[in-house]
Chains A and B, each alone.
Chain A
Amino acid sequence: MTTAHGVHGGHGGHGGAGGGAVADLLGWAPLGAVLAGALGGYVWAALRARRTARGWSAWRTASFAAGVALLAAAALPAAAQAAHADPRGHVLQHLAVGMYAPTALVMAAPVTLALRTLPPAGRRRLARLLSGRVPHVLGHPVAALALDTGGLYLVHLTPLYAAAQAHPGVHALVHAHYLAAGCLFAWAVAGPDPAPRRPGTGVRLGALFAAAAAHAVLAKLLYAHPHLWPPGATANGADAAVLMYYGGDGAELLLAVALFAAWYRRRGRAPGRYAAPAPAGP
């Protein structure tokens, strides 16, 4: 609601910028309203959780706000136009929507927050939903890897990219998939939320390694073969590929740190494991 108003007010000052810009901003407004609603809901729940004895970390709230802000920025009409005209813009959108925003949202532990603040009936429903078969299968790091990295390869190595350029509906679906698969992957690999029967650190680390490697290989492949970019988008293809290669590193580092930090905390809580006599050195 506020966002939609802000958009109108902000645009009024420019005057005569063209009807297309107004229509673009109006097109952005529903998504902006959804994002503002999500942020509002999270902050409301976080404020409630802060009043309890266990509290709620301000870092988690900041992480959620950062994720929402990234999504809002990536969806702005100016960003969408840049992404349409230039593969570098497309890569920035892919990094923001598919990697950085999901990491920020997942690190905000929204499921934990919901479990803490929902009324008992809702809490039971959510817990039942999470322990079901579908979250277990989809939430496995290998399944999440297939959906996330598989989707990325599909977009770049098939005519799907060109189709998304041509049809706004396909474009929206591709980005919805980037976001959903990115969240699923971050959640499966390093999510702070409780996940029943989540595989051990080794499996999750393996999935992160495979995803990081596949991302780097795809970036170099796109560099080596610029014709893989859709026609008309090959001009800055090499720069876009370099951006993709190094841009992915930051998100992968964040996930690796989250994964190992959780391992470090768990080990600190389990003193029995290092009380065993050390084996003789080699």
Chain B
Amino acid sequence: MAPPAAAPRFGRSLGAAALIGAALMAGVDEIVFHQVLGWHHFYDRATPAVGLLSDGLLHAAELIALVAGFFLAADLYRRGELHGPAVRAGALLGLGGFQLFDGVVDHKLLRLHQIRYGVDPLPYDLAWNGAALVLLAAGGALLWRARRAGSGRPR
């Protein structure tokens, strides 16, 4: 019953892995920074109402992205369409993308909460968003390499 080996699907593999990566980074944020370290606050008195709404939307999106990513990847794997290099690139892009979004939009624009309280947030913000850029750069490099390797072969 196994399907014939199909051509790996680059875009879908990239997308599924990016969903998982972003959701995992959101989970790490929730578990490590909110619960374990207790640095992030559940709610910050400086949060505007639109921040509460966007937090709810983001929280729901993380939850669904995690499940959707795993099932999409499982479906691709079942058909032999999972593109390995695209998965690695997508996962890093997802991890870094969420980290950067969280660091810029959630922490600064919507002011949901700061990274840590009672200290100067600037070094934390720099480290946070710097790490995001490193992840994004690594993902981008893998993506570029995978695309270049892929374009040489018939697909």
Q: B60 contacts A216, CB within 8 Å? A: yes
Q: Is B53's CB within 8 Å of the partner chain A?
A: yes
User: Could you tell me the distance between the alpha carbons of A212 and B59 in the complex, rounded to whole angstroms?
Assistant: 8
User: Could you tell me the distance between the alpha carbons of A271 and B56 in the complex, rounded to whole angstroms?
Assistant: 37
Q: A220 contacts B155, CB within 8 Å? A: no
Which of A241, A256, A278 contacts B67, CB < 8 Å?
Answer: A256
User: Could you tell me the distance between the alpha carbons of A215 and B43 in the complex, rounded to whole angstroms?
Assistant: 15
Chain B residue total in the interface (Cβ 8 A): 31
Q: Is B71's CB within 8 Å of the partner chain A?
A: yes
Q: B47 contacts A224, CB within 8 Å? A: yes
Q: Is B121's CB within 8 Å of the partner chain A?
A: no
Q: B79 contacts A274, CB within 8 Å? A: yes
User: Could you tell me the distance between the alpha carbons of A249 and B59 in the complex, rounded to whole angstroms?
Assistant: 9
Q: What residue of chain B has the Cβ atom nearest to residue A256's Cβ?
A: B67
Of B3-11, B87-95, B99-107, B124-132, the one with at least 4 CB within 8 A of chain A:
B3-11
A271 neighbours in B (Cβ, 8 Å)? 3
Q: A220 contacts B60, CB within 8 Å? A: no
Q: B11 contacts A281, CB within 8 Å? A: yes
The contact string, 1 if C-beta is below 8 Å from chain B, for chain A 249-282, is 1001100110111011001100100100010011
Q: Is A44's CB within 8 Å of the partner chain B?
A: no
By CB atoms of chain A within 10 A, which of B43, B59, B68 has the most? B59
Which of B6, B59, B155 contacts A216, CB < 8 Å?
Answer: B59
Q: Is B37's CB within 8 Å of the partner chain A?
A: no
Q: In the assembled complex, how far is the CB of residue A202 from the closest CB belonging to chain B, in whole angstroms?
A: 12
B155 neighbours in A (Cβ, 8 Å)? 281
User: Could you tell me the distance between the alpha carbons of A220 and B34 in the complex, rounded to whole angstroms?
Assistant: 14
Q: Is A209's CB within 8 Å of the partner chain B?
A: yes
User: Could you tell me the distance between the alpha carbons of A264 and B71 in the complex, rounded to whole angstroms?
Assistant: 7
Q: B6 contacts A278, CB within 8 Å? A: yes
User: Could you tell me the distance between the alpha carbons of A241 and B41 in the complex, rounded to whole angstroms?
Assistant: 13
Which of B7, B43, B59 contacts A223, CB < 8 Å?
Answer: B43
Q: Is A126's CB within 8 Å of the partner chain B?
A: no
User: Could you tell me the distance between the alpha carbons of A94 and B61 in the complex, rounded to whole angstroms?
Assistant: 23
Known A267-B75, A271-B3, A281-B155; contact A221-B67, beta-carbon cutoff 8 A: no
User: Could you tell me the distance between the alpha carbons of A39 and B127 in the complex, rounded to whole angstroms?
Assistant: 56
Q: In the assembled complex, how far is the CB of residue A10 from the closest CB belonging to chain B, in whole angstroms?
A: 38
Q: In the assembled complex, how far is the CB of residue A183 from the closest CB belonging to chain B, in whole angstroms?
A: 21
B145 neighbours in A (Cβ, 8 Å)? none
Q: In the assembled complex, how far is the CB of residue B72 from the closest CB belonging to chain A, in whole angstroms?
A: 8
Q: B71 contacts A213, CB within 8 Å? A: no
Known A214-B56, A220-B43, A282-B11; contact A209-B71, beta-carbon cutoff 8 A: no
B68 neighbours in A (Cβ, 8 Å)? 205, 256, 260
Q: B78 contacts A268, CB within 8 Å? A: yes
Q: B71 contacts A224, CB within 8 Å? A: no
Q: What residue of chain B has the Cβ atom nearest to residue A221's Cβ?
A: B52
Q: B75 contacts A264, CB within 8 Å? A: yes
B11 neighbours in A (Cβ, 8 Å)? 281-282
Q: In the assembled complex, how far is the CB of residue A265 from the closest CB belonging to chain B, in whole angstroms?
A: 10
Known A216-B56, A220-B43; contact A274-B6, beta-carbon cutoff 8 A: yes
Q: A220 contacts B67, CB within 8 Å? A: no
Which residues from 199 to 253 on chain A have a C-beta closer than 8 Å to any C-beta of chain B? 205, 208-217, 220-221, 223-224, 238, 241-242, 245, 249, 252-253
Known A268-B78, A278-B7; contact A213-B57, beta-carbon cutoff 8 A: yes
Besides A221-B52, A241-B42, A274-B3, 9 more A-B contacts (Cβ < 8 Å) are: A209-B64, A212-B59, A213-B57, A256-B63, A264-B71, A267-B75, A274-B81, A281-B11, A281-B150
Q: List 30 A-B contacts (CB under 8 A).
A: A205-B68, A209-B60, A211-B60, A212-B56, A212-B59, A212-B64, A213-B56, A213-B59, A216-B60, A217-B52, A220-B42, A220-B43, A220-B55, A221-B52, A223-B42, A224-B43, A224-B47, A224-B52, A242-B42, A249-B63, A252-B63, A253-B63, A256-B68, A264-B71, A274-B3, A274-B79, A278-B6, A278-B7, A281-B150, A282-B11
Q: Which 7 A-B pairs have the closest CB atoms?
A: A217-B56, A212-B60, A213-B60, A216-B56, A260-B71, A256-B67, A213-B56
